Structures are given as structure tokens and as C-alpha cells.
Structure 1
Amino acid sequence: METLEMRSTTATFCRARKTGLAGLAALVVGVLRPGLAFANPEEALGTPDAAVMGQFASMIRWSGVLTSIVVILGAWMAIRFVRDLVERLSRQFANRRLLLQKIATIFQFIVYVGTGAAVVLLSFRLDAGVLAIIGGTVAVSVGFAVKDVVASFIAGIMIMVDRPFQVGDRISFGGQYGDVTAIGLRSVRVQTLDDNTVTIPNNKFINDITSNGNYGALDMQVVMDFHIGVDQDVGRARSIVNEAAVTSRYVYLPKPVVVLVSQVIADSYVAVRLRLKSYVLDTKYEKAFETDVNLRVLGAFREHSIMPPAVLHRQLDPLVRKPGSAAPPS
């Protein structure tokens, strides 16, 4: 008996697919509303389009649709209000900027999820049969199409829990370097130092390496290299670089300032590298700090005649003439 019913359902589905959307819609209505099922597939396929659309319309709660629109507008206004409020408070309380941005991100995440659930519950008449059919249809026909979106959604939850970075952190990922401005359900937005907004899907962060410069703190380490010739006064050059860093108005002095000296090969000749490692008091002053220190160091190098790397030509003493050797030409 079950086999015959299954064959009948399969044959009806095939015929409905051949006859177009109206026939398939009639079949689905018959499955969702057993009391409205037709005696045979031919009767279902012959149903006028207006009647089929009416059956689908009966599944929608129209008063709830109007309420859903109000809910969406309210959610949008709430998100805009919180964003503007956080932006104003961040300008007034700079030391609390990262905390305020984290709160705004969590609030936005909760509003998105809550609004989506409310719209579905308000706009549709859901029962066990409808949920089963909708779930099966989404899983089979839409599953492959939205697999990347689902993966990004799950990755977004993992980012919120594992926290490899947070809103306000300065990260480097996939050749992009900038500040994380938003962590959404599908993607992460990064504002680069060139003032470009880069959108990266959340699932990209699962298998790739992310470099985080400050990890929730306002201060961040900045590394700068200076090169001089091997025949220059290295000690004085090191003192100049150290002084330029500690006297900058952007430096964060509670953390150490270090100048490392090493010999390197630059363009096939030997040079001395002075690597400065110091902390800037706020990530937004990174480039201003680099510019300030570079100007100070270059000016002091020029004042003290400390030259950049160059190829050195060594002159050897005249060779002592061996006994019996011919005299060098004059």
C-alpha cells in the first residue's frame, strides 16, 4: 500500500513539474492542507492559478506582515541610534572606545537574530506540517546554494566566542591591513589605512592566519628600520633613534623602547640596520608616530653626518717588491 502511494506521489510530482509552477504549487498546497487535497493529480493540475495563489496566500498572516514591517523599521532605527550614540561617546571617551564598539557589535548581533525570528513568527502560520515541508525544501534545494553563507554564519559565531580579534583591533589578513569596524553574521569589515572598507567573509578566518596588532588594547607596537653604512658612528646613530622615539608625543612610555643593531645584506653590500621597537599610545596614531620619528632621525643623521649604506672601495698598501721581480711600471 505504501509503495503504491509513493509511486502515485512521484508520478504526480513529475507531471506537476512538466506543467509548470501552477501545477507544482497545487501539489504543495495539497500536501500542506490535507483537507484541500484533490482526488487525483489531473484535478490538481487543472486548478486555476488564482485558486492556487489563494491557497498560498492563506498561509500568510497579513496582519502580521504589517507588524513585521514595523518591527524591521524599529530594529533599523535602534541600530542607527546605537551607532550614532557609540560614535559620539567614542569621541568624548577615547579610552573607552573599544569597549563601546564591542557593546554596539553585540547589540547589533542580537537585534538581527531577534528581528529575523520575530518576522517569521509574525508573518506565517506555522504548524508541524509546514515546518517539516519548509525544512526539507530548504535543506535539499537551497542547501548547496547557501552553504557558504551558513559557513560564514557559523564562523561568525566562532569569532565572537574564540575572539581572535575584536571590533577596534588593527589586524593584517590576506594582504589587507586596517581596523576591524564590524563583525557581522556573514562578514567582517576592515577599514584600511588607505580609507578603504574591505569586506571579508567570516569563513575565510577559520583556516587562514590573522595577525592582530593590539588585541583589545589601545596601544600597539610599531617597528621601524633605519639603515646606515658600516663605517658610520653606530653608537651615536643608535642614541639618535632612541631619543627620537622617546621624545615623540605619540609614544606610549609605560612600555619599553628598544633599538636593535644588526648587520644585514642590502642590495649585495653590507649595511647596519637599526630596528626600533616602540609602542604608540593609540592605534590611530600609528602613521603619525612613524612620520614624526622618521623626520627626527633623518634630520639628526644629516646634522651629525651619518651616511646611508654605500659600497666601500678598500685601498691596499703598495705591494712590497720581491727580490728579482720586475719593478712596477711608473
Structure 2
Amino acid sequence: KMLSNLIAGLVIQTDRPIRVGDFVDIGGTNGFVSQVGLRSIKLETISSLITLPNAKADESNINNYMLTEKDSNGNTCRVYLINLSSSQQLIHSHEHIYKIADELKAHLSSEPLIKRYVLIAKPAVIDAPAKFVCKIFTTATNWVEHDAIVTNYNNLFAALEVKYPGREPGPEKILMLQPSS
């Protein structure tokens, strides 16, 4: 086992499919890579620190969610995707939806760890709340940074629902068609 871990460790060190700080999925375990050694890989998951033998990692599918791109200064940075989707609980006017979207965009633009984002506002349809779909590309390298981004976004989103009051959705309406006799 030790020899297979060492050989797999050399392959991982040579091929470099993952680096410290990457957000990865190795054999169904998601986490930030905190160490890549000759015998094992340490992943910081949302609940614990996991040590995976290199042989197991080498045999598993490794999904590295990091992308290498240049920032505005030409520096290379590693970014990964976080999906921040939210459904509003209230029905807002189109004007309020645009104002909420503008404030969310201003917030996302001011976050230093967010490199780029896509925010889509889907307006309310027939007495149903609107939906905001937000995907961000971030350079967060640990769960503290990751959770801070998600928490700040969700807190702002909740505050905007209060700032731009809407109305409660009505009961679900069902249209029944009856054949004529």
C-alpha cells in the first residue's frame, strides 16, 4: 500500500491535477486542498479535514473546479464557481426587481474575492415570486472565505426584500377546463 501511495504521489506531483488551495471533488468528496504530499492528500471539507491516500485519489475521478485566468493587472489567478441562487418570498414590481438587481450587482462588484459574476433576474409570473440566479467566480481558498461570500450575499438579499417591500403570494391558482355539454 505504501509503495502504491508513493508511486501515485509521484504521478500527482508530476501531473499536478490539483494544487494547494484548489476546490476539488475527489471520488465524491468536495473540499479545498490543504496539502498534497507524497503519500496522501488533505482536503478541508465543510465539516472536517480528510486525508485521502494518493492511491485512492489516483484511482478516483478528480474534478478540479478551478480555472486559471488573468486578472485586470495581468496576474494569473485561480477561480472557481459558486452558485448563489435565491427565490424571493414576496412578489415585487418590475421596478423593485431592477433596483434589487442593481444593488446585488454593486455588492458583487465590491467583493475583493469575486473576480466576475453572472446575475439573472427572472421576473414574477402570475402571482409567483421572482427568482434571482447568481453565479460568481471567486478566488476563495477556504471555507471561511467561501461562507463569508455566501452569507454576505444572503444577508444583503434578505435586507433588500425588506427595503423593497412586496406582497405575499396568493394561493396557487388552478385553471380547470370542463368540456361543454
Is the CA contact (8 Å cut-off) linking 1:166 and 1:215 kept in structure 2? no
1:154 aligns with 2:7: yes
In structure 2, what is the Cα distance between the partners aligned to 1:272 and 1:233?
Answer: 10
Q: Which residue in 1 is equivalent to 2:104?
A: 244
Do the aligned partners of residues 259 and 179 (structure 1) sit closer, same or farther apart at CA in structure 2, a change above 3 Å counting? same
1:188 aligns with 2:41: yes
The whole-number CA distance in structure 2 between the counterparts of 1:178 and 1:304 is 37
SS of match in other structure, 1:257? strand
Distance 1:198-1:262 versus aligned 2 partners, 3 A rule: same
Note closer, same or farther for the CA distance 1:187–1:298 as it changes in structure 2 (3 Å cut): same
The structure carrying a bigger helix percent of its residues is 1
- Displacement of 1:232 in angstroms is 4.4
How far apart, in 2, do the equivalents of 1:308 and 1:201 lie? Answer: 52
**Separation (CA, whole Å) in 1 of partners of 2:60 and 2:94:** 40
Structure 2 gap ranges (5+): 69-76
Change in CA separation of 1:152 and 1:224 when aligned onto 2, cut-off 3 Å = same
Instruction: Tell me if the contact between 2:91 and 2:166 (Cα under 8 Å) persists in the aligned partners.
Output: no
1:53-68 mapped onto 2 (5 Å cutoff): none
**Equivalents in 1 of 2:170, 2:20: separation in Å?**
45
Match of 1:275 among 122, 125, 133: 133
Q: CA offset at residue 295 of structure 1?
A: 0.6
Residue 165 of structure 1 and its aligned partner are, at CA, apart by 0.7
- The residue that corresponds to 1:312 in the other structure is 172
Deviation at 1:286, TM superposition (A): 1.5
Give the CA RMSD over aligned residues: 3.7
Per-residue CA shift, 1:302-324, capped at 9, x if unaligned? 332346877523589xxxxx9xx
Unaligned runs of at least 5 residues, structure 1? 1-147, 264-269, 317-321, 323-330
Inter-partner Cα distance in structure 1 for 2:168 and 2:9: 48
8 Å Cα contact 2:9-2:40 kept in structure 1: yes
Amino acid across the alignment from 2:111 = Y
Does residue 64 of structure 2 align to residue 212 of structure 1? yes
Distance in 1, matches of 2:59 and 2:140, equals 29
State yes or no: 1:297 paired with 2:157.
yes
**Partner letter of residue 289 of structure 1?**
I
- Higher relative CO (CA 8 A, sep ≥ 6), structure 1 or 2? 2
* 1:229-267 per-position Cα deviation (integer Å, ceiling 9, x unaligned): 7964467436524532532553446x432113569xxxx
Query: Rg larger in 1 or in 2?
Result: 1
1:289–1:226 Cα change, 3 Å = same
Matched residue type, 1:221: L
Quickly say closer, same or farther: Cα 1:153–1:239, change in 2 above 3 A. farther
Please point out which of 9, 13, 21 is paired with 1:168. Answer: 21
Where do 4+ consecutive residues of structure 1 move more than 4 Å? 229-232, 306-311
Q: How many residues align?
A: 164
**Could you say if the C-alpha distance between residues 302 and 230 of structure 1 is closer, same or farther in structure 2, counting changes exceeding 3 Å?**
closer
| Displacement after TM superposition at 1:158 (Å) | 1.4
Q: Hey, what does 2:55 align to over in structure 1? A: 203
Deviations 1:55-90 (A, max 9, x none): xxxxxxxxxxxxxxxxxxxxxxxxxxxxxxxxxxxx
Distance 2:12 2:58 in 1: 9
For the structure 1 residues 293 and 315, does the alpha-carbon distance in structure 2 shift closer, same or farther, using more than 3 Å as the test?
A: same
**1:179 deviation in Å?**
1.9
Please state which structure has a larger fraction of its residues in strand. 2
Q: Distance in 1 between matches of 2:10 and 2:82?
A: 31
Secondary structure, aligned partner of 1:256: strand
Partner secondary structure for residue 283 of structure 1:
coil
Residue identity over aligned pairs, in percent, reads 21
Residue pairs, 1:253-264, within 5 angstroms: 255-261=115-121
Residue 278 of structure 1, CA deviation? 1.9
1:274 partner amino acid: F
What amino acid does structure 1 have at the position aligned with 2:53? P
Q: Normalising by structure 2, what TM-score?
A: 0.69
TM-score, normalization by structure 1: 0.41
Aligned residue in 1 for 2:82: 222
Q: In 2 relative to 1, CA 272–224 (structure 1 residues): closer, same or farther, beyond 3 Å?
A: same
* Paired AA for residue 297 in structure 1: F
Q: CA deviation at 1:163?
A: 1.3
